[in-house]
Structure 1
C-alpha cells in the first residue's frame, strides 16, 4: 500500500497539489471578501446569499459543454488557460467601485470555468499517480481542500480586514490563479488524453455531451456519481450553523465552531481513507454513505454544543466515503473520456452542494433548524440505501460503460 511519502515523492503531484492548495486558499478568501463587499454595499442578506450561490450553481449548465475540452487538448494547456482567464476575471472584480451587476457577471464567468479546470486536473491525477498511489493522492487533495476551507471560514474575515478590505483580498485571489498557472506550465508535462489528436471534434456538441451520456447510460457509473452528489444533503450543518446555534442558546461565538466541525471531521476522514486497501473500497463506500447521515439525525432534538460538535464532526468523517467513490468512478473510465465524465460529476457535486444549502434553508423556514438538519440527513441516508440497490444490480451487467462504448466504436 502506497504511503504519503511515496506520493509526495512524485514531482508532478507536488506541482498539482501546491497549485491547487494555494489557489483554494485564495478562493476561500475571495468568498469571504465577496460576501463582505456585497453586504457592505446593499445591507441585504438575501443579495449576499444570492451572490454566494452564484459561486456554486452555474457549473451544472456549463460542465457538459466545456469539460470535453479536457479530452481534446493537452490537459496542462487547458488548466493554464483557465487559470489565466480566472485571474483576469478576479482582477476585474478587485477594481474599487465595480457595479454589482458586473460583479455578479464576473462571478458567474469565473465559476463557469471551474468544471473545465477540475476535469483537466482530476483526469491528469490518475496519469501522474498510478496504482494505489492514486487513491492516496486523492485523499491528500481532499484533506488539503478541507483544511483550506476550515482556515478560510475561521480566519477569512480577519485576513480580509488585515489586508485592507475586500478589494485587496480579491486581488490576492487573482495572484493565486497566476501562481497556479506558472506552477502548472513549468512543473507539469502536457498530458495529452489517450486517443486525442488535438483537432476539434466535427460535432462539438455531441462530443461535449458524450460524458453525460456515458455516465447516465451505465448503472454502475450513475450509481457512483449519485453517491457523490448525495453529499449535498450532508451540508445542512454548514448552511444552518447560525440558526442552530441560536436554537440551542450557544450564541454567535459558536457559529464558527459549528461550521468548522464537519469540515474538520472530513479532513481526518480523508487522511484515514488513504489507508484503505483496494479490496475494501467497494465494500465500505455505500455503508459509509448511509452512516454519514445518522449522526446528524441524532441532533434532531438540539443537544448541547459539545455533543453537537462531536456528532457533526463524526458525520464529516464518515462523509469521506466520497473519496472512495471518486477513486472507483475514475478507475472505471478510459483516459480519452475521463475529462468529460469527471467534469460532469464535479459540476454535479458543486451544484448539489448549492441545492443542498438552499433546501436546508427552505426547510428551516418551516421547522426548527435541528429538525431541518435531521431531515436532510435522513433523506441522504435513505438515498444511499436506494443507490446501494442500484449498484448491486449493476454487478450483473456486462461491464463498465467505457468498455461497451469502446467496443461499439471499434466495430463502427
Structure 2
C-alpha cells in the first residue's frame, strides 16, 4: 500500500495528494455525466421531435459501459492506470465535444455518445484498481465511503443543475461545459504520481486469455463470487427509482413527486455510506454485508399497502442507505481481494454486473407492473430479493469462515 494521510477521517483521506486528485476528477466526471444526459435529451428531442429516439440516445449513455467494462478493463492491468484514466477522460472530452458540431447526422451522434460511454468502463476499472495502492487500513474504507457520498451528491447536483445549465447555456453550451469537466479531470489524473504497470509476461491487453481472467478469478475465490452475487441484488433495489413515474400515478400525486421518489435512494445512499464509513467499526464490516442486503430488500415489501407518498419515500431512502452499504463494501473488498495483476479485469466484470442489474431491474419490474399494480411489483421485487439475499448471507458466512479476510494493512504516514 502507498501513501497515507494523517488521521482516520475524510480530511485525513483527502490529505493523500493522489487520492485527492482522483476524488476531484471523479466528482467532476460524475456531475458531467449527468449534465450530458440532460443536455443530450434536450438536444436530440429538439432535432427529432421523437420521444423514442430521445430514449434510445439516453440509453446509449449507459449500455456501452458494459462493453468497456468487460473488454477494455484489461488495459488498466497492462498499462499504467494513471495513463489509462487520462486517455479515457480525454477521449470522452473529445467525443462529447464533437456532438455539438452543427448538422451532425443522428447516427453519428449516437456513435459518439456510445463511444463516450464506453470509455467509462476502463476508467472506473483503472480508478478502483489504483485506490488500494493509495490508501490502507481504515483509510481505505473511508476513501470508498467518501467516494460514494460525493458521487451520490454529484449525481443529484448534475441532474438538478443540468436543467439550469442547459437553460442558460443551451444544450450545445451544456455539452461543451461537460467536455471541459472531462478535460480538467484528465489533467488532474495526470498530476498524480506515476506508477508502473506490472502486466503478466507475454500477455497482451486484449488477449483471449486476458479477457477471461476476471471471470477466472471470481470462479477461483468463493469470496469474490459471493461479492459479485451481492452486487447483482441492485437489479431489485433500483426498481423504485426506475418505476417512480407510474408509482406516483398510482399514489395520485403530482408529477413533482417523481423527482422526490428518484432522489430518495441517492440521498439514503449518501447517508448510509457516511454512517458505514465513519461510525461502524471496521471489525464489524464483514458481518453487516448480509444483513444490509436483506434489510434493503425487506424495506421494499410494505409498499404494496396504501402507505402514501412520504412513508414510501422513507422506505426507499432506507433501502438506498442499506444497498449503498453492501455495494460500497463489496466493491471495496473485491478490489482488495483480487490478484494485483488482474485487479482491473475483475473490477471490470463486477462493474458490468452492476450496470446490467441497474439497467435490467426497472425493465423487468415494468413488465410485472403490466400485470399487477406498480406498488405490488416493487413489493414483489423486495420479496424475491430478500429470499436471494438470505441465500447470499449464508454463502458469505461460509466463505468468510473458510477463507478469512486479510488483516488491514497499517497506515504509513507522510
Question: Does residue 274 in structure 1 map to residue 280 in structure 2?
Answer: no
Residue 63 (structure 1) shift: 2.3
In structure 2, the residue matched to 1:317 is: 321
Q: Are 1:273 and 1:323, in contact at CA under 8 Å, matched by a contact in 2?
A: no
Count of aligned positions: 397
**Contact 1:247 1:302 survives alignment (8 Å):** no
- CA apart distance, 1:395: 4.2
Work out the CA distance in 2 between the residues paired with 1:324 and 1:110: 28
The aligned counterpart of 2:341 is 336
Name the CA shift for 1:312/1:396 in 2 (closer, same or farther; >3 Å).
Answer: closer
The CA deviation at 1:52 is 2.1
Establish whether residue 362 from structure 1 lines up as the match of residue 372 from structure 2: no
The whole-number CA distance in structure 2 between the counterparts of 1:74 and 1:203 is: 15
Instruction: From the superposition, tell whether residues 200 and 58 of structure 1 become closer, same or farther in structure 2 (CA, over 3 Å).
Output: same
Q: Which moved more, 1:154-163 or 1:8-17?
A: 154-163
Backbone CA RMSD of aligned residues: 2.1
Name which of structure 1's ranges 244-253 and 360-369 shifts more when overlaid on structure 2: 360-369
- 1:48 to 1:370, Cα distance in 2 relative to 1, 3 A: farther
Cα deviation, residue 388, structure 1: 2.1
Structure 1 runs not aligned, ≥5 long: 401-412
Q: 1: distance between equivalents of 2:375 and 2:331?
A: 30
Rounded Cα–Cα distance in structure 2 between residues aligned with 1:225 and 1:202: 23
Q: Deviations over 1:342-379 (max 9, x none)?
A: 12111221222111132223222332221122222222
| TM superposition score normalised by structure 2 | 0.90
How much has 1:122 moved relative to structure 2? Answer: 0.4
Post-superposition Cα deviations, 1:130-170, rounded to whole Å, max 9, x if no partner, equal 11111000010011110011112334223211222x22211
Q: Distance in 1 between matches of 2:187 and 2:400?
A: 44
Asked if 2 retains the 8 angstrom alpha-carbon contact of 1:154 and 1:256, the reply is no
CA distances 1:8-61 after superposition (whole Å, capped 9, x unpaired): 111111100111111211111001112222333334333333222222222333
Q: Is 1:259 aligned with 2:262? A: yes
Say which SS state the counterpart of residue 300 (structure 2) adopts.
helix
- Paired with 1:323 and 1:287, the residues of 2 have a C-alpha distance of 14
Matched, 1:243 2:274: no
Residue of structure 2 equivalent to 1:294: 298
- Of stretches 389-398 and 361-370 in structure 1, the one that deviates more from structure 2 is 389-398
* In 2, Cα distance between equivalents of 1:104 and 1:88: 14
Aligned ranges for residues 75-90 of structure 1 at < 5 Å? 75-90=81-96
Partner SS for 1:330 = helix
Cα deviation, 1:285-342, whole Å, max 9, x if unaligned, reads 1110111022221111242111111111111111122112222222212322211111
Alignment of 1:94-109 (within 5 A): 94-109=100-115
What TM-score, normalized by structure 1, do the two folds share?
0.91
Q: CA deviation at 1:398?
A: 6.4
2:391 maps to 1:386 = yes
Q: Give, in whole Å, the separation in 1 of the partners of 2:306 and 2:96.
A: 40
Instruction: Decide whether aligned partners of structure 1 residues 207 and 54 sit closer, same or farther in structure 2, where only a CA change above 3 A counts.
Output: same
Tell whether 2:199 aligns with 1:196: yes
Alignment partners' CA distance in 2, 1:5 and 1:31: 32
CA distance, structure 1, for counterparts of residue 276 and residue 99 of structure 2: 38
Instruction: Decide whether the 8 Å contact of 1:237 with 1:259 is kept in 2.
Output: yes
Q: 2:12 matched to 1:6?
A: yes
1:141 to 132, 144, 147: 147
> In the alignment, does 2:225 pair up with 1:219?
no
**Contact 1:89–1:110 (8 Å) recurs in 2:** yes
Q: Which moved more, 1:237-246 or 1:283-292?
A: 237-246
- What are the within-5 Å matches in structure 2 for residues 63-212 of structure 1? 63-164=69-170, 166-186=171-191, 188-193=192-197, 195-196=198-199, 201=204, 204-212=207-215
- Which position in structure 2 is the counterpart of 1:24? 30
Q: Give me the whole-angstrom Cα distance separating, in 2, the residues matched to 1:270 and 1:247.
A: 31
1:103 CA drift (Å)? 1.5
SS class of match (1:65): helix
Contact 1:38–1:48 (CA under 8 A) maintained in structure 2: yes
Deviates further, 131-140 or 276-285: 276-285
Separation in 1 of the partners of 2:265 and 2:356?
Answer: 19
**Distance 1:108-1:154 versus aligned 2 partners, 3 A rule:** same
Secondary structure (helix, strand or coil) at the match of 1:266 reads helix
The answer on whether the counterparts of 2:290 and 2:396 sit within 8 Å (CA) in structure 1 is no
**Offset from partner CA, 1:71-118 (integer Å, 9 cap, x none):** 111111111011111111111112233222212111211122111001
* Distance in 1 separating the partners of 2:206 and 2:109: 34
